[in-house]
Structure 1
Amino acid sequence: MAVSGDPKSRGELKIFDNSDELATDLAEYIAQLSEFSVKERGVFTIALSGGPLISLMGKLCQAPYSKTVDWTKWYVFWADERAVSKSHIDSNYKLAKDGFLSKVPVLNSHIYSINDNATAEDAAEEYEFTIRQLVKVRTIDVSAISDCPKFDLILLCMGADGHVASLFPHHPALEDKENWVTFITDSPVPPPERITFTLPVINSASNVAMVVTGEENKATALCLALSDCNEETDALSSPARMVWPANGKLVWFLDKAVASELDGSDSGVGSQ
């Protein structure tokens, strides 16, 4: 594994030889954050995405984590969701339920999925209202900087176009600073209707993990996401590059395939 990172960089980079090594380290990372949050606040608030993320979390369902993680203290949310039924193949809830949540003893009452009977707009409003209620009672922490919810961990994947959650390049939702949860009806990849956390919420988290593997030729998008912002680069072309927690920690979990185009001299990646 290669590791790099300093406070002025695009976060800590962890590059693994294969997906199994990545999954092993990811499980340990999540378990440690869970333990710390439960000790500090009595709960662990985690927001999931879709894509290959859920399968890579699979080692949490195995020993020792299946027994050592305090699953009853987990509160589970989604950083984005498709406006489809919970039984639909495109549902991030279904993906997480089938591949992860059904295999660990997280309390059903602590799993907050969207209303799949509502329109995308109404579902976004309801989801934000739910989060606001949980912030009021401090189940979800609040950022002292932005007054946004401060999730203990937000787990994200990145698309081949650089999108994260359901925030796509040059989409108006990228500039939404008023809402915690917004909706889109014109996703460039199906299904078109989705709800998503806005960037202020993502960037208010205590920890953000970007999990990116080499399928779908994401290497070029990764290079753009990790490049320095300057006048010649358009930040809106790479939503992943706009993920930068204001008072938290960003960690990239990468496999060698997706990291293949990174310039070691620019990224600072070195062997550990």
Structure 2
Amino acid sequence: MDLKIYKDKQEVAEQFSSYFADKQKDKDAFYVALSGGSTPKIVFDVLVEKFSDKVDWSKVHFYWGDERCVSPTDDESNYKMTVEHLFSKIKVPKENINRILGEKSPEGEALRYANLLEMDLDRVEEVPQFDLVILGMGDDGHTASIFPHEIELWDSEDHCVVATHPDSGQKRVSINGKVINTAKEVAFLVTGASKAEKVKAVVEKTEGSEAYPASLVNPALGNLLWFLDEAAAARLNQNPS
């Protein structure tokens, strides 16, 4: 585990963008699963502003770790946010953008997307392998769209699952834990004081932390990085193991 702590979410975005640009440099193709949320939004803005000419976008193949079951024009759509903040401002081939079809039947779309990942990505023991999975973490310790009340979805046989938001009841399509933990690199982007308690629990493996899906992220073959701002890291011990 590699903890990277920066002053604020803007610096997190800038440092992550630099890391992203370096990672894809020497690859013929780079397969990444994107996350929604406020921090990725800033990352996309920074990528456009400072790194758009440093990334060969024709080699980057975009997927999503999760998506809300809404239309691609809905304000809650992770895809729409990415279009507005990234895709509309860079030159990326349309065929490199592989969105989860949130407007379709959730069960059918989970199956279709799992099949797409199996076809497009290299596989390790039959599990699709991303070069990079970007994750956020909720105040409740959820990641992708696997929530504590449905933590059993983490180990689902299906590479994509249908999840239900615990408060709104909204359906979501999400990759499962096997896909996350098979990735070559997994990067958490977590900012804000409201995340500090769960960051401490997940990073330091405190008692009861196994109830949080984010605590199950442990790439078997790759690296796990945390990009945190000082507010999110505030409760960590100085030298977490």
Q: TM-score, normalised by structure 1?
A: 0.84
Shift of 1:166: 0.1
Runs of 4+ off more than 4 Å? none
Contact 1:19 1:56 in 2 (8 A): no
Residue in 1 that maps onto 2:41: 54
Shift of 1:104: 1.4
The 2-side partners of 1:16 and 1:149 are apart by 32
The 1-side partners of 2:170 and 2:103 are apart by 16
**2:53 aligned counterpart, secondary structure:** helix
Over the matched positions of the two proteins, sequence identity in percent amounts to 35
Residue in 2 that maps onto 1:76: 62
Shift of 1:173: 4.2
Residue in 1 that maps onto 2:156: 177
Q: Check 1:172–1:257 CA distance in 2 against 1; reply closer, same or farther (3 A cut).
A: closer
Residue in 2 that maps onto 1:95: 81
**2:182 aligned counterpart, secondary structure:** coil
Shift of 1:187: 1.2
Is 2:102 the partner of 1:110?
Answer: no
Deviations 1:174-207 (A, max 9, x none): 34331111112x3114361000000000000000
Residue in 2 that maps onto 1:4: none
Shift of 1:172: 4.5
Residue in 2 that maps onto 1:162: 141
The 2-side partners of 1:191 and 1:111 are apart by 28
Contact 2:202 2:209 in 1 (8 A): no
Query: In terms of mean alpha carbon deviation, does 95-104 or 247-256 score higher?
Result: 95-104
List runs of 5+ in structure 2 lacking aligned partners: none
The 2-side partners of 1:166 and 1:150 are apart by 19
Query: In terms of mean alpha carbon deviation, does 23-32 or 51-60 score higher?
Result: 51-60
Contact 2:8 2:191 in 1 (8 A): no
Shift of 1:259: 0.7
List runs of 5+ in structure 1 lacking aligned partners: 1-10, 135-139
Residue in 2 that maps onto 1:85: 71
Shift of 1:60: 1.2
**1:164 aligned counterpart, secondary structure:** coil
Counterpart selection for 2:173 from 181, 186, 195: 195
Contact 2:72 2:103 in 1 (8 A): no
**2:76 aligned counterpart, secondary structure:** coil
Shift of 1:47: 0.6
Is 2:201 the partner of 1:224?
Answer: yes
Q: Calculate the aligned-residue CA RMSD, in Å.
A: 1.6
Contact 1:206 1:248 in 2 (8 A): yes
The 2-side partners of 1:147 and 1:101 are apart by 31
Residue in 2 that maps onto 1:7: none
Shift of 1:68: 2.2
The 2-side partners of 1:34 and 1:214 are apart by 28
Is 2:227 the partner of 1:256?
Answer: no
The 1-side partners of 2:153 and 2:72 are apart by 26
